[in-house]
């Protein structure tokens, strides 16, 4: 098989028996059933109805109807020979108000999903938080409120109690950099807050919550494999000019280093991102001891590379991205550059932290404009994207870097947050009018690859 960037033949055996292959999803993006069986409102349920920030006004109320169709979709996971299925729990299905009374139908539902996975030889990997904070807690300040550490820890305890007998792999949070940045600084994601006054306390309380949640899991489930996931993009400077180099360094610290370093006990990269200095006001005596956890694995989620230049006009960070659209490079539907070496660079970067014991690519994938033609969906660009990225993972592995798993984002086309249903990331096409599923050629390719 020929890859775009160098000839790297790939087959499953080259990765070894212990390499974890999987597919990733998130509750809010697939489940639908947003107010069924006692589920409470999350910040996303409220955000989509309150704002005009979702493209074409798309509603996640039904999404992929995974809530009702989980058996069919887990059957598809099995049919594609995917051994590991990563999904998140919806906090408000379990605790409608975020705290207090447990909603038994929510617990029953996730028990059914977990049991169905296991009955079918599919290993469930659970993410505890994939962005859908309970709205009731947002009314109390959400992540800007320091009490969020206790709210989250209590929720984790309940999940460990109910599902820990069967689930071995846990991820505490998904991409804190994205939900804190987009939701608490830029206001383009739920809950739509903006500015440093929201962003800085949210960062600190999320860091404390990740560590507290992980410690809670360790206490309750000593045998569990505990991880957490980080978004990352390969950052390169626009030129060798000192101010572009410095701008790239700031963006790299903000996008790639902030959270991994904070939960690894290094503190915040304040020298490289001076705009974050105000965070010290939220750090209380004793916090340093609660900002370090030894994760069994670290999840990284990489999709692209960004080119960064100095920008006088960008507040706080004086840096701007040079849009991939303006660079004449291959693009996905998200307007993200297709650049397979980015994943190799990110594996190298995260390997440099001695705290990273195992490194798993917990998300990688691409959206392309898929179409149903004669009842099938041919998506050669996605096939090539997956092949070339997997090849880069293999390259890193062969060079001796830790790379212990690879999960495709995502199983089925789904609700892509503020982009609505427009970008289709799935290995499986979903007709959102009929809920019909069609395995794309990328799904068939992945299934054949995993068969070995
Ligand atoms: O859909 C998202 C997911 O929720 C988090 N990681 C990136 C994906 C693609 O944008």
Spell out which residues line ligand 1, taking CB within 6 angstroms. Answer: 26, 29, 175, 301, 363, 409, 416
Q: Annotate 281-310 with b (16+ C-beta within 10 A) or e (fewer).
A: ebeeeeeeeebbbebebbbbbbbbbbbbbb
Ligand 1, atom 4: closest residue by C-alpha: 26
State the Cα–Cα distance between residues 378 and 376, nearest whole angstrom: 6
Rounded mean pLDDT for each run of 10 residues along the chain, 452 residues in total: 60 97 99 98 95 92 98 98 99 98 98 99 99 98 98 99 98 98 98 98 99 99 98 98 98 98 98 98 98 98 98 97 98 98 98 98 98 98 97 97 98 98 98 98 98 92
Q: Pick the atom of ligand 1 nearest to 425's CA.
A: 9
Residue 131, pLDDT score: 98
Ligand 1, atom 10: closest residue by C-alpha: 416
Residue 5, pLDDT score: 52
Q: CA-based angle 368:374:380, to the nearest 5?
A: 30
Pocket test residue of 175, 367, 423 for ligand 1, highest count of atoms within 8 A of CB = 175
Instruction: Supply the pTM of this predicted model.
Output: 0.97
Which residues are paired to 126 by β-bridges? 87, 170
Which residues are paired to 361 by β-bridges? 300, 406
Pick the catalytic residue from 306, 337, 363, 384: 363
Pick the catalytic residue from 136, 175, 306, 345: 175
416 is catalytic: no
Residue 8, pLDDT score: 77
Return the CATH fold of 3-233+255-299+334-451: TIM Barrel (3.20.20)
Ligand 1, atom 8: closest residue by C-alpha: 409
Q: Pick the atom of ligand 1 nearest to 365's CA.
A: 9
Ligand 1, atom 1: closest residue by C-alpha: 416
Of 246, 369, 256, 239, the C-alpha closest to 304 is 256
For the chain, the domains span 3-233+255-299+334-451
Q: What is the full DSSP assignment across 290-340?
A: GSB---SEEEEEEEEEEEEEE-TTSTTT-EEEE-GGGGT--B-TTS-B--T
CA of 88 to the centre of ligand 1 (A): 12
State the pairing for strand pair 428-431/436-439. Answer: antiparallel
State the Cα–Cα distance between residues 337 and 327, nearest whole angstrom: 9
- Alpha carbon separation from 217 to 163, 212, 221, 293, 322 (Å, rounded): 11, 9, 5, 11, 41
363 is catalytic: yes
Q: Pick the atom of ligand 1 nearest to 301's CA.
A: 6
CA of 41 to the centre of ligand 1 (A): 21
Map tokens 């790379």 to a residue.
403
Q: Pick the atom of ligand 1 nearest to 417's CA.
A: 1
Residue 3, pLDDT score: 46
CA of 416 to the centre of ligand 1 (A): 7
């Amino acid at each position: 098989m020929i890859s775009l960037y160098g000839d790297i033949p790939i087959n499953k055996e080259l990765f070894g028996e212990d390499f974890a292959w999987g597919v990733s999803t998130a509750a809010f993006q697939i489940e639908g059933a947003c107010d069924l069986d006692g589920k409470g409102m999350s910040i996303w349920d409220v955000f989509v109805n309150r704002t005009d920030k979702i493209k074409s006004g798309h509603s996640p109320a039904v999404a992929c109807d995974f809530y009702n169709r989980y058996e069919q979709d887990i059957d598809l996971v099995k049919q594609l020979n995917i051994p590991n299925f990563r999904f998140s729990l919806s906090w408000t299905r379990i605790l409608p108000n975020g705290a207090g009374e447990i909603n038994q139908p929510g617990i029953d539902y996730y028990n059914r999903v977990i049991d169905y996975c296991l009955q079918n030889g599919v290993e469930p990997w659970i993410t505890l938080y994939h962005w859908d904070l309970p709205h009731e807690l947002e009314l109390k300040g959400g992540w800007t409120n320091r009490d969020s550490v206790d709210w989250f820890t209590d929720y984790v305890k309940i999940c460990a109690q109910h599902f820990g007998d069967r689930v071995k792999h846990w991820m505490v949070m998904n991409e804190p950099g994205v939900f804190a940045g987009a939701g608490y600084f830029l206001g383009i994601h739920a809950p739509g807050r903006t500015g440093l006054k929201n962003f800085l306390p949210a960062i600190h309380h999320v860091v404390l919550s990740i560590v507290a949640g992980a410690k809670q899991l360790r206490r309750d489930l000593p045998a569990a494999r505990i991880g957490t996931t980080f978004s990352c993009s390969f950052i390169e400077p626009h030129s060798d000019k000192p101010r572009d180099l410095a701008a790239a360094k700031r963006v790299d610290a903000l996008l790639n280093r902030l959270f991994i370093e904070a939960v690894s006990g290094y503190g915040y990269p304040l020298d490289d991102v001076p705009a974050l200095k105000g965070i010290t006001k939220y750090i209380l005596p004793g916090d340093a001891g609660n900002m370090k956890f030894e994760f069994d694995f670290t999840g990284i989620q990489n999709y692209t590379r960004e080119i960064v230049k100095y920008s006088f006009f960008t507040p706080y960070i004086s840096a701007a991205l040079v849009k991939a659209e303006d660079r004449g490079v291959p693009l996905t539907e998200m307007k993200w550059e297709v650049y397979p070496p980015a994943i190799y660079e990110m594996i190298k970067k995260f390997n440099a932290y001695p705290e990273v014991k195992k490194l798993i690519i917990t998300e990688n994938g691409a959206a392309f404009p898929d179409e149903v033609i004669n009842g099938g969906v041919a998506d050669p660009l996605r096939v090539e994207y997956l092949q070339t990225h997997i090849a880069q993972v293999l390259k890193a592995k062969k060079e001796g870097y830790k790379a212990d798993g690879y999960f495709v984002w995502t199983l089925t086309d789904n609700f892509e947050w503020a982009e609505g249903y427009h970008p289709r990331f799935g290995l499986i096409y979903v007709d959102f009018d009929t809920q019909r599923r069609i395995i794309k050629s990328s799904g068939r390719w992945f299934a054949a690859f995993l068969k070995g």
